[in-house]
A and B are shown apart, each in its own frame.
Chain A
């Protein structure tokens, strides 16, 4: 099994982790009117890059949500960054 780094717990078995989403998406301001394309882009469109990617993952056992930088072909991890305030 591959090991992934949780910023809180350290290296753990890959089955303890869950991929949530690509990093960097900003939710449109829905308090004002937005068009269908803008909303669909937020909901569905993905960069889906081949190579270095930045994603939001969760370590299921401790519920830490963090930024994971990895390679989508080799699966090599370059960095995991906590998203907690003040870290």
Chain B
């Protein structure tokens, strides 16, 4: 059994040369049959397993991954958590996630370091301030906290930004979501893994799914590097590789996979206390607790499965950063990487049945999957346990494309994907 983490256990282990910590999770051999198999041990897959066990009492669950848990986009993102979306369906989804994040460290007995330091979406002109007012009002009507703040209030929150009035993109104000923030991304995966494992979930790493077992038109299990594993229901939460997995079940999805790049700078003294996004360039940045600037932007220009950087997007993001905060021009980058994101035509996720009996999909999160992990897991667990949509996941069913009922956040909230 893993140890319970507390101030007392820290003190006790300090006296015992840290000898008493148990492993955070087991490494079990896969069984022949489970009630539910989840493919993909990232944040969404692990959270799904946790909520299946905790909320629905479904504990005969395996989460399998071709690599190591949290080794995909969960460990590659810029850790921003926010619910500043436009449409009611999106606000319900992403704010559920923020609410779950607010209590997550306590719930999982694992410090995910959720820091509600707020997110600034900058407005660079008077018309943008008017659109900002519209957006702020939409968020409030949807029950999400939002405030349109003027340039003095932006300066108070992020003095490092470019406040020159003759700047190419002068700052007129910003949309401010105070409850937004950042978290320790690996800890989210590790916390869910540890809590799911404690409830009896088997997490099986280094076990690639090579085929789906299809019988009488239904998905009955997976054929893996470690043999066949069968289950009543299969849930796929494999992000950028969703099309590849769906292809094993002869399904095509409305998804393009792109590389999304991110950057971390050398550690600096504290200069940035919040997260700031400039819609002009799509660049956004925050500062981690270790001092590194965490910098992100839009996706690459061409669909790709190559998990590596690409110069044109890099140039766009970094020139955007220098426009936002010219003082950072000589800061050196420490790391630079890319993850493969699954982008839908409306920049909204897909949650629901796949069209093949027994196979369910959690995908299409694009560049914004990390913030949605708790909600994605909770809603996907509901779907797998009951066979029915939760009211919040219903609008995100795959059937919205044939019905022409898109939730076009790419256009509405101007997110950079």
- Which residues of A come within 8 Å of B, CB atoms? 1-2, 14-15, 17-19, 36-37, 39-41, 43-50, 53, 55, 72-75
CA distance A52 to B302 in the complex (A): 14
- Shortest CB distance B407–A (Å): 13
What are 26 A-B residue pairs whose CB atoms fall within 8 Å in the complex?
Answer: A1-B311, A1-B312, A2-B311, A14-B312, A18-B301, A36-B403, A39-B402, A40-B254, A40-B401, A40-B404, A44-B401, A46-B243, A46-B254, A46-B256, A47-B252, A48-B243, A48-B244, A48-B256, A48-B257, A48-B303, A50-B243, A50-B244, A72-B304, A72-B305, A73-B304, A75-B302
Interface string of B264-305 (1 = CB under 8 A from A): 000000000000000000000000000000000000011111
What's the A-B contact tally at a CB cutoff of 8 Å?
69
- Shortest CB distance A37–B (Å): 5
The answer, yes or no, to whether B255 is at the interface (CB within 8 Å) is: yes
Interface residues on B, range: 20 to 34
Q: Which of B302, B306, B311, B345 is packed against the most chain A CB atoms within 10 Å?
A: B302
Q: B residues within 8 A CB of A74?
A: 306
CA distance A45 to B250 in the complex (A): 13
Asked if B252 and A50 make an inter-chain contact with CB atoms under 8 angstroms apart, the answer reads no
Asked if A40 and B402 make an inter-chain contact with CB atoms under 8 angstroms apart, the answer reads yes
CA distance A18 to B303 in the complex (A): 11
Q: Which of B247, B301, B402 is packed against the most chain A CB atoms within 10 Å?
A: B402
Asked if A45 and B253 make an inter-chain contact with CB atoms under 8 angstroms apart, the answer reads yes
Q: Which of A2, A17, A45, A55 is packed against the most chain B CB atoms within 10 Å?
A: A45
Q: B residues within 8 A CB of A41?
A: 252
CA distance A65 to B244 in the complex (A): 28
Asked if B252 and A45 make an inter-chain contact with CB atoms under 8 angstroms apart, the answer reads yes
CA distance A14 to B301 in the complex (A): 10
With A36-B404, A44-B254: A72-B345 Cβ-Cβ less than 8 Å: no
**10 more CB-based (< 8 A) A-B contacts, given A19-B303, A36-B402, A36-B404:** A14-B301, A14-B302, A17-B302, A37-B402, A44-B254, A45-B253, A46-B255, A46-B256, A47-B243, A75-B306
Asked if A50 and B345 make an inter-chain contact with CB atoms under 8 angstroms apart, the answer reads no
With A44-B401, A47-B243, A50-B241: A75-B255 Cβ-Cβ less than 8 Å: no
Q: A residues within 8 A CB of B303?
A: 19, 48, 53, 55, 72
Q: B residues within 8 A CB of A17?
A: 302
CA distance A19 to B259 in the complex (A): 14
Asked if A50 and B305 make an inter-chain contact with CB atoms under 8 angstroms apart, the answer reads yes
Asked if A48 and B304 make an inter-chain contact with CB atoms under 8 angstroms apart, the answer reads no
- Shortest CB distance B354–A (Å): 13
With A1-B311, A1-B312, A72-B306: A46-B252 Cβ-Cβ less than 8 Å: yes
Q: B residues within 8 A CB of A43?
A: 345, 401
User: Residue on A with the closest CB to B244?
Assistant: A50
Asked if A46 and B253 make an inter-chain contact with CB atoms under 8 angstroms apart, the answer reads yes
